[in-house]
Amino acid sequence: MKSHGRFDYSAIHQRPDYSWPQGKRLAVYIGLNLEHFAFGEGLGACLAPAQPQPDVLNYAWREYGNRVGAWRMLELFDELRLPCAALVNTSLLDHAPGLVAACAQRGYEIVAHGHSNAERQGGMDEARELALLKSCRARCEQAGHGAPAGWLSPWISESVITPDLLAEAGYRYTLNWCHDDQPTQMRTRSGASLWSVPYPQELNDIPTIIGRLMGAQDFADMIVHQYEEMLRQCASQPLVMGIALHPYIVGQPHRLHHLRKALAHLGDPSVAKGAAWWTTPGQIVDCADRALHGGNAQQV
């Protein structure tokens, strides 16, 4: 059968064991998707059935996330003292540069998330896709936020050579693959290292709330249940739990209310029992690389 060839099959219970910093066993990160959409054209999640362009209703609903929802979420993360990875469309560096700067000033990791979520990269030819990957890194660096180490494709859209191009463009990891609860090293045609960090398609507000039509309370319960179950599982292996959030969805006040309760519960030391490491994808890659190849991380 045809195979992607990026990594071999590996059962979760048959791998080397190690711990995250300070002996933690569960790495938890928030992926805050900061996205910008072209007006009157291109792709976009829809609150209501799509209309002929310009689709003002759905465009304005998504833009609420940049103008209001994201700022409310930053306030929440400040209140709970939670780190974050900001997954940024580089078009926001022109459209709402202060929003990206606010994330950088808080020490959030900036992850490249394409130029706009109004377009996919999977249908691009090699030269155009490589140019996109390079330009996103360069644009973030020019804005003073450093060259991102990580990448998440808009709509998780890949060509068959995207991992190769990511490595060649200087990225260290991708969030596109949701096949595991641990970081995975991927093969690339140049032999350069590219890590895959688990990014959730279950614990993600778009598939849950927009795709499955579940409520905000349901999504909050999913976060808590995922966390509590993975705390049990991580006694046997170091695990990664990502939480994917979009400000135009969970930044709405009635949903933020439930998200606040869920994250506060996760941050309660009596719940975590010292096992959870709140972090970012880049730090997860650093630790896994040391543990599996450098021998500097704490071994179990």
Which domains does the chain possess?
Answer: 14-294 (3.20.20.370)
SS (H, E, C) 50-92: CCCCCCHHHHHHHHHHHHHHHHHHHHHHHHHCCCCEEEECCCH
- How confident is the model at residue 297, as a pLDDT? 37
pLDDT of amino acid 46:
85
Distances 177 to 9, 56, 92, 201, 214 between C-alpha atoms, Å: 14, 32, 24, 9, 24
Q: Is the pLDDT of residue 268 over 80?
A: no
Q: What is the pLDDT of residues 44-100, one digit of tens each?
A: 888 888 888 898 998 999 999 999 999 999 999 999 999 999 999 999 999 999 999
Among 168-172, 205-209, 240-244, 263-267, the range scoring the smallest mean pLDDT is 263-267
For the chain, the average pLDDT equals 93
